[in-house]
Amino acid sequence: MADADWTGYVGMATGIFGAVTGFLGYRRANQIKSLVLRLELRKVLSDAHDSLSSLPTLIEEANGSRHAVLAAKGLGGSGNKIVWDEAVAADRAQIDRIAPSLRSEGADFSTLSSEYLEAEIVAAHKIKTSLSGMVAKYRAALAADSEDRKQIAHQVTAMTAARIAQATKP
C-alpha cells in the first residue's frame, strides 16, 4: 500500500507541474503573439508615415515636371493638363483625409488586445497600400516625363542638325 500511495503522489505532482507549465507556456505564447503584433503594427505605421512624409515633395516634383513636359510639347492648356491637375488635387485631398487617421508611431500599444492590434494592423496596412500606390504613381510619372524629355531633346537635335545641314548647302 505504501508503494501505491507514493506513485500516486508522484503522478499527482507531475500532473500539477504539467498543468502549471502548460498554463505558463500558454500565457507566454500570448505575450509573444502580442509582441509580434505590436512590432508589425509599428512597422506598417513607420512605412505609412515615411510614404506620407515624402508624398507632398514627390507630388510637387512630379507636378512641376509634368507641367514642364506638357508645355514643351505645346500642351500647356490641354485636356491632359486639366486631367493631371484634377488628379493631383484629388490626391492631395486624399492625403489630407488620411493624415489625421494614421496613428502615431510612438503610441503605446502595450495595453491593446490581440484582436484590436490585428484590426489596427489591417487599417494601417490599407492606408499604407493607398499611400504606396500614390508614391508609385508619381514615381512612374517622373519616369515617363524623363522619357518624354529624352524624346523632345532627340527631336530638337534632329531638327537642329537638319537646319544646319540645309544652311550649309551651297
All structural domains of the chain: 2-168 (1.20.58)
Can you tell me which residue has the cell 500570448?
30
Position 2 pLDDT exceeds 60: no
Percent of the chain with pLDDT over 90: 44
Phi-psi region of 26 (alpha: psi -120 to 50; beta: other; left: phi over 0): alpha
Q: What is the pLDDT of residues 3-41, one digit of tens each?
A: 567 777 888 888 888 888 888 888 887 778 888 888 899
Q: State the average pLDDT for the chain.
A: 88
Position 1 pLDDT exceeds 80: no
pLDDT of residue 80: 87
With CA atoms as reference, report the closest residue to 102 among 166, 49, 38, 159. Answer: 49
> What is the reported pTM?
0.75
Sequence-separated (6 or more) residues with CB below 8 Å from residue 44? 121, 124, 125, 128
DSSP three-state, residue 89? helix
